Amino acid sequence: MTTVRPPQAGRRAPAAGAPAGPEASVRSGAASGPMSPDLREAYTSVPVEPFEVLLPAHRPSDQRPVDPVDPVEPPPAEPLPAEPLPAGRRRSGPVPGREPGVVPAILAEALPDGSVRCLACAHRCLVRPGRRGICGVRENRNGTLVSLVYGQAVAANLEPIEKKPLYHAWPGSAAYSISTIGCNFHCRFCQNWEISQAPREGLTPWTIDLPPDEVVARARATGARSIAYTYVEPTIFIEYALDTARLARAAGLGNVFVTNGYQTPEALEVLAPVLDAANVDLKGFSDRFYRRVCGARLQPVLEALALMRRLGIWVEVTTLVVPGLNDDPAELTALAEWIVSELGPETPWHVSRFFPAYQMLDVPPTPLRTLAETARIGRQAGLKHVYPGNAPELGGNDTRCAACGQLLIRRRGYRIVENVLVDGCCPACGSRLAGIGLAEARRKGVA
């Protein structure tokens, strides 16, 4: 797989159109051999092109790395009024005269000895004075927990919502996708490790100041339907995400998290009023896998998923199937059955093909037969919408009616080439497709 390294501090990204490596890199590290003309067209003719890219970041389930380009100034957008906050709640933005990116954390508990307990994620780090939490971007400064990355964007891309992947949220629309550095997991297979593990690896990726109001202005200027907080775990920059999400909601935009699901109940209660949808990585169904490969635990993820559903957040689940680590059929069956019983049979499950990355370059790609078997396991468990990812050879990315089987949305790569929904319902039997924003999608020819 050809990897484009992030520019070092003080250096600009390569110019648009620079060589991006061999054809195989289009499939995020796919195996050798040229793509067929049909597949090449499907995965390079996406419905939207990047409006701005600060780094060539992409998720493991992404199938088309974005070419890096120099940042461009968007067309001027009408200023947005700040959303009024409930009585007693402060806005978490930067204080004039303070260090860029540094703001007080909104979820923290100060302790008598000067330590601080971070309440944003399920690690609940006890952070000693002068130290940082596991994520590397939340620091104890003189007994006050601060975020170091508020408004410091390492990536900002306009992408198809299907690339998150979210298949049942505003199909065919674009999501303005932002990220900072840092992550509360240290997955050994992370494809975005240059930014997610930057503090741990001693890297200094190139960033720009992109405050919440400017994120919303750029999203509106590019025609995005939503803002996606993605590429790394967005909970680690919850102050930045929350302020942006409030402004986005006031502007009529949706908000989506692409997340590892390690939020605390406190964090989800704060986010729920402005968070419309989440794609949650349920990385396996064994605590041993989570501890050894991701540096976390399974149970908090399951609890967060169930709470998201109770709070009314639309949830889709992704599992990256890694050979020899989380591909046991019994484990996958238990995982699928859990989704059915706790989240519902119409919860989309994206089963994604692994390609070697980061500290797992010696692990082979997921065999196609394994991915096909995983999809079969999901359907046999009772899931109505199972989508193979990173495997265009398998197909299976179309959406059918859960009641009668009628083809509702036909996809080719990230493009929707046919959508026959009528006000979000099946034209054959009238059953409503589970999801959000389904009535907004154009009926046909979304491209």
Domain ranges of the chain: 27-72+152-399, 103-147
Residue 5 reports pLDDT greater than 80 = no
For residue 28, the one-letter residue type is S
Q: Are strands 349-353 and 386-389 parallel, antiparallel or unpaired?
A: parallel
Residue 16 reports pLDDT greater than 70 = no
Residue 27 CA, distance from chain mean position: 18
Given a contact cutoff of 8 angstroms between Cβ atoms, the answer to whether 174 and 228 are in contact is: no
Q: With pLDDT > 70 as the criterion, what percentage of the chain qualifies?
A: 77
Give the whole-angstrom CA distance, residue 303 versus residue 207. 34
Q: With pLDDT > 90 as the criterion, what percentage of the chain qualifies?
A: 76
pLDDT in tens, 228-256: 999 999 999 999 999 999 999 999 999 99
Residue 96 reports pLDDT greater than 70 = no
Q: What is the DSSP letter of 83?
A: P
pLDDT in tens, 24-67: 222 222 332 333 333 333 333 333 333 333 333 333 333 333 32
Determine the CATH number of domain 27-72+152-399: 3.20.20.70
Q: How would residue 344 be classed by pLDDT, with cut points 50, 70 and 90?
A: very high
Mean pLDDT of 189-194: 97
Give the whole-angstrom CA distance, residue 50 versus residue 68. 9
pTM equals 0.81
Give the whole-angstrom CA distance, residue 332 versus residue 323. 12
Residues near 177 by beta carbon (within 8 Å), at least 6 away in sequence: 155, 156, 157, 158, 159, 164, 227, 228, 229, 230, 231
Q: What is the pLDDT of residue 99?
A: 84
pLDDT in tens, 102-158: 999 999 999 999 999 999 999 999 999 999 999 999 999 999 999 999 999 999 999
Q: How would residue 440 be classed by pLDDT, with cut points 50, 70 and 90?
A: confident
Nearest to 139 by CA among 111, 118, 161: 118
Residue-averaged pLDDT of the chain: 83
